[in-house]
C-alpha cells in the first residue's frame, strides 16, 4: 500500500501523526537552544605558566621554550602559539582534527610533568581545555564606596547568580582577594626561642588550605590568602603556636600583629568613571544565551525593586526568569551602589532571530495569498496546515539531532520554506485536477498522490544533493556550516512525508466538502471569488502563457539563446566584481572590546592614564552608552579564561546604541574613537574587536616569527 493510499483510506493515523508533529514541534521550538552561530569546538588547550616577578625574557628561556619542546613531542599536537609577559606566559596548543581532546590533554600534562629543570619559584603549570564560552552579558556594581563594601555586595550577587538554574559561568573582575597578613615581631620570637617557621607551620596546619606565603621585610611577614575562607584576623590571632612550660598557651597574637587586608596587587576597575566590580556571564555547553540574559535582567530588576521585565505569563509558569526576579526581591539589604546590566550580546542574537522569524511569518502569509489566487480556499487552507506541520516536524527533528536555532539553521528553514510549499502544491493541484476529471475524492487523492510521488521525491533528492557537499567540508568552517544541510534534509524529508501521507487524507475531506457546498457561508464567498478569479485572472493568464509557450517552442533557438545570455550575464557580474563575494558577512556590532598592553614594567598609573584617554574618547561619542575599564586584569572573550594579570595591561568595553538608533556603523565609531584618542605610540600592543557572537577574524593576518626579537620588531615596523 502506497503512502497516499494509506493516508486517504486511514485518516485517523494520519491526523494523529500530524498532531504529534505539531505538538512535538511547538514544544521543541519553545525549548530549543538559541545562539548566533553553531558552537565550534576549537580542539585546543591552554598551558598557563606563572613565574612571579620574572621578566618576559626569563619566562621564555627558563620555562616557555622547555614546555614548548615537551608539548611538541606529543603526537596529536599540530601547532603551538606562545605569549609571554611579565610574570606569566600562555601556550595555546592546537591539536589535529578529530583528536580525543581529554586524552591529548593528559598526554600534554604527562609531558610537562617529566620536566625536572623548571624554576623552583614558578607555580604549578596548569593545562586547561579550550571551551567555546561566549560572553553573554556583564553585571557591574559601581559607585563611590569602599572596596570592602563593594566586594561584600558583589559576593552576595555572585552567590545568588550561581544558585540559579541554567545560569552560565561567571568571571569576576575588579576586586582583589582578601589577605590575612601576619607581621611577626623578631623580638618576641627571640624571647620565646622560636623560629618564624613555627608560626607559619601553625597557621598552615590550622587553615589546611593554602601555604603560608612568602616572608616580607626584615620583620618577617607571613601572608595567608584566604580566597573566600570565612576565618578572619581574630581567628588567626587565637591559633596556638605551642604550650608554655607553665601550661599557658602561646598564640599567634603573642608573637605577631595580624591584619585583615587585600592582596597587594595592581588591579582596578572603573565604570562610567566610578570604582566598580563586574561579573561577566558566559554561556557554556548547552545553555541558552537569551535565557541567561533574561535571568540577569530579572535579577537586577528584583535587587533594585523595579518591575518584572519579562512576560506576564512567566510568573504562573514558574520560569527561571521569574525565579531570578524573586531571588533579587527577597534580599532585604539594599545595594550600596548601582547595579547595571550591559554589553548584552544576547540582544544581538535575539534581534536577528526575531527578524528571521518575522520574515518567515510574512513569507507564509504571502504564500497563502498566492495559493488563493491559484487554488480554492479549502485546498489553500490544508496546504498551509501542511506547511506548518512540516516546519514543526523539522524543529522536532532538529532537536532530536542536537541542532540549535541559530542564524544558519534559520536561514536553512527560510530556504526550504518555498520548497515545502511546492511539494504540497504539486500534490494538491494534481489531486484537484483528477477530481475535476470525474474521479471520486478518495480515488483522486490516491491516484493523484501516486502519480506525482516519484517526481516529488526526485525534486527533493536533487535539492538534498545540492546541499550535500557542505557536509564534506573539514575544519571549523565545516563544523559551522554542517548544520545547514541537516536542516534542509530534515525539512524536505518531513515535507515529503506530510504531502504524501497526511495531505491526501485532508484532500479527501476538502473535495467532499466542495461537492457538498451549497454556496453559503465563507465557503460560498470563496467559491464565488474562485469563479471571478478564474474568469478574470486564471483564464486570461493561461491564454497569454499558452501563446508565449508556443512561440518559445516555435523559435526554440532564440529562447535558448536568451536563457544562455542571462546565465552568461550572471556569471559575468560575479567575475567582473559587480557582485562581490563575502564568505561570511560582517555584522554591525553593539559591543566592542579593546585590549591594551604597555611595555613590561609600566606602572599602574601610566597604564591608567593611557587607557583612560581611550575611554574618554569613547565616552565623547554620542552612540556609546556605557564604558567599562579594567586595569591589571583581562580575560579572553572567546573562552572566558582569565589572562595573567599585570600593571601593564588594560581592557576596555564599550556598549553602543542599537543600530536602528544611530547613523554610524560600529566600525566608523571605532575609527572616530581612535582619532579622538590621538597618538598611542607608548602602547606596545593594542587590539580593537567587535563582539557579535559569530566567527570573527581579520581579513588578512600576518605572522612573523624568528629568533631575534629586535629583527622581528624591525620587520613589523
- How confident is the model over 20-32, as pLDDT tens digits? 999 999 999 888 8
Q: What is the mean pLDDT of residues 619-629?
A: 90
Predicted local confidence at residue 186, as pLDDT = 84
Predicted local confidence at residue 412, as pLDDT = 83
Closest CA to 407 of 353, 355, 448, 475: 353
pLDDT in tens, 92-109: 899 888 788 889 999 999
Predicted local confidence at residue 259, as pLDDT = 77
Predicted local confidence at residue 227, as pLDDT = 40
> Minimum mean pLDDT among 338-347, 359-368, 551-560: which range?
359-368
* Average pLDDT value for the chain: 82
Closest CA to 598 of 581, 610, 587, 588: 610
pTM metric for this prediction:
0.74
Conformational region of residue 193, where left means phi above 0, alpha means psi within -120 to 50, and beta covers everything else: left
Whether residue 566 has pLDDT greater than 90: yes
Instruction: Label residue 226 by pLDDT band (50, 70, 90).
Output: very low
CB-CB contact of 494 with 464 (8 Å): no
Q: Could you tell me which residues are beta bridge partners of residue 554?
A: none
Q: What is the mean pLDDT of residues 180-204?
A: 81
List, in sequence order, the alpha helices (H) in 238-376. Answer: 289-303, 314-317, 320-330, 345-374
Compute CA distances 164 → 73, 228, 282, 342, 519, whole Å.
Answer: 43, 20, 14, 19, 60
Placement of cell 534542509 in the chain: 488
Compute CA distances 371 → 414, 419, 428, 496, 558, whole Å.
Answer: 18, 14, 11, 19, 33
Whether residue 228 has pLDDT greater than 50: no
pLDDT in tens, 403-438: 888 878 887 887 887 777 788 888 988 998 888 888
Whether residue 393 has pLDDT greater than 90: yes
The whole-angstrom separation of Cα 512 and Cα 238 is 93
pLDDT in tens, 578-618: 887 766 666 677 888 899 888 888 888 899 999 999 999 99
pLDDT in tens, 654-708: 888 888 888 888 889 999 999 999 888 888 888 888 876 555 555 666 777 777 7
pLDDT in tens, 447-458: 999 999 999 999
Amino acid at each position: 500500500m502506497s503512502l497516499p493510499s494509506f493516508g486517504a483510506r486511514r485518516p485517523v493515523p494520519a491526523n494523529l501523526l500530524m498532531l504529534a508533529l505539531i505538538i512535538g514541534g511547538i514544544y521543541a521550538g519553545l525549548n530549543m537552544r538559541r545562539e548566533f552561530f553553531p558552537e565550534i569546538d576549537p580542539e585546543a588547550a591552554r598551558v598557563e605558566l606563572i613565574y612571579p616577578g620574572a621578566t618576559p625574557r626569563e619566562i621564555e628561556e627558563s620555562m616557555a621554550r622547555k614546555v614548548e619542546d615537551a608539548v611538541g613531542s606529543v603526537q596529536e599536537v599540530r601547532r603551538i602559539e606562545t605569549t609571554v609577559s611579565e610574570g606569566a606566559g600562555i601556550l595555546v596548543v592546537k591539536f589535529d582534527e578529530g583528536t580525543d581532546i581529554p586524552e591529548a590533554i593528559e598526554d600534554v600534562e604527562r609531558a610537562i610533568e617529566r620536566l625536572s629543570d623548571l624554576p623552583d619559584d614558578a607555580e604549578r603549570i596548569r593545562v586547561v581545555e579550550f571551551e567555546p564560552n561566549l560572553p553573554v552579558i556583564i553585571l557591574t556594581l559601581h559607585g563611590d564606596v569602599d572596596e570592602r563594601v563593594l566586594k561584600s555586595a558583589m559576593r552576595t550577587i555572585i552567590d545568588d547568580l550561581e544558585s540559579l538554574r541554567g545560569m552560565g559561568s561567571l568571571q569576576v573582575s575588579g576586586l582583589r582577594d582578601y589577605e590575612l597578613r601576619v607581621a611577626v615581631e623578631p623580638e618576641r620570637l627571640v624571647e620565646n626561642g622560636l623560629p618564624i617557621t613555627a608560626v607559619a607551620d601553625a597557621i598552615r596546619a590550622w587553615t589546611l588550605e593554602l601555604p603560608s606565603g612568602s616572608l616580607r621585610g626584615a620583620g618577617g611577614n607571613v601572608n595567608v590568602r584566604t580566597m573566600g575562607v570565612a576565618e578572619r584576623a581574630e581567628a588567626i590571632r587565637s591559633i596556638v603556636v605551642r604550650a608554655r612550660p607553665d601550661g599557658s598557651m602561646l598564640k599567634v597574637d603573642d608573637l605577631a600583629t595580624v591584619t585583615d587586608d587585600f592582596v597587594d596587587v595592581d588591579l582596578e576597575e572603573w565604570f562610567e568613571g566610578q570604582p566598580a566590580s563586574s561579573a561577566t556571564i558566559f554561556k557554556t555547553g548547552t545553555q541558552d544565551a537569551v535565557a541567561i540574559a533574561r535571568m540577569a535582567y530579572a535579577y537586577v530588576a528584583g535587587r533594585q525593586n523595579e518591575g518584572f521585565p519579562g512576560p506576564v505569563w512567566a510568573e504562573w509558569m514558574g520560569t527561571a526568569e521569574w525565579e531570578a526576579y524573586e531571588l533579587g526581591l527577597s534580599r532585604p539589604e539594599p545595594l550600596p551602589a548601582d547595579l547595571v546590566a550591559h554589553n548584552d550580546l544576547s540582544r544581538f542574537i535575539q534581534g536577528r532571530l526575531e527578524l528571521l522569524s518575522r520574515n518567515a511569518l510574512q513569507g507564509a502569509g504571502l504564500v497563502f495569498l498566492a495559493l488563493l489566487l491559484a487554488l480554492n480556499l479549502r485546498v489553500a487552507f490544508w496546504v498551509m496546515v501542511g506547511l506548518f506541520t512540516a516546519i514543526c516536524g523539522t524543529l522536532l527533528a532538529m532537536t532530536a539531532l542536537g541542532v540549535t536555532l541559530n542564524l544558519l539553521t534559520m536561514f536553512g528553514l527560510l530556504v526550504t520554506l518555498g520548497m515545502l510549499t511546492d511539494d504540497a502544491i504539486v500534490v494538491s493541484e494534481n489531486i484537484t485536477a483528477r477530481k475535476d476529471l470525474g474521479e471520486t475524492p478518495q480515488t483522486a487523492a490516491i491516484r493523484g498522490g501516486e502519480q506525482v510521488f516519484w517526481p516529488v521525491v526526485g525534486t527533493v533528492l536533487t535539492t538534498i544533493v545540492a546541499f550535500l557537499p557542505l557536509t564534506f567540508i573539514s575544519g571549523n568552517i565545516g563544523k559551522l556550516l554542517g548544520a545547514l544541510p541537516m536542516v534542509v534534509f530534515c525539512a524536505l524529508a518531513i515535507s515529503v512525508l506530510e504531502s504524501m501521507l497526511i495531505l491526501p487524507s485532508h484532500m479527501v475531506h476538502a473535495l467532499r466538502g466542495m461537492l457538498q457546498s451549497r454556496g453559503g457561508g465563507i465557503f460560498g464567498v470563496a467559491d464565488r471569488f474562485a469563479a471571478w478569479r478564474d474568469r478574470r485572472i486564471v483564464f486570461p493568464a493561461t491564454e497569454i502563457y499558452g501563446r508565449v509557450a508556443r512561440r518559445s517552442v516555435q523559435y526554440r533557438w532564440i529562447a535558448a539563446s536568451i536563457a544562455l545570455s542571462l546565465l552568461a550575464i550572471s556569471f559575468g557580474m560575479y567575475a567582473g566584481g559587480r557582485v562581490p563575494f563575502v564568505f561570511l558577512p560582517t555584522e554591525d556590532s553593539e559591543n566592542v572590546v579593546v585590549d591594551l598592553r604597555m611595555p613590561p614594567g609600566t606602572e599602574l598609573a601610566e597604564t591608567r592614564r593611557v587607557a583612560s584617554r581611550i575611554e574618554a574618547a569613547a565616552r565623547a561619542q554620542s552612540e556609546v552608552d556605557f564604558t567599562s575599564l579594567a586595569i591589571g586584569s583581562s580575560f579572553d572573550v572567546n573562552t572566558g579564561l582569565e589572562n595573567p594579570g599585570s600593571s601593564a595591561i588594560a581592557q576596555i568595553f564599550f556598549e553602543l546604541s542599537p543600530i536602528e538608533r544611530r547613523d554610524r556603523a560600529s566600525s566608523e565609531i571605532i575609527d572616530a574613537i581612535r582619532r579622538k584618542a590621538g597618538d598611542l605610540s607608548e602602547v606596545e600592543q593594542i587590539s580593537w574587536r567587535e563582539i557579535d557572537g559569530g566567527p570573527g577574524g581579520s581579513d588578512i593576518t600576518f605572522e612573523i616569527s624568528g629568533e631575534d626579537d629586535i629583527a622581528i620588531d624591525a620587520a613589523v615596523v
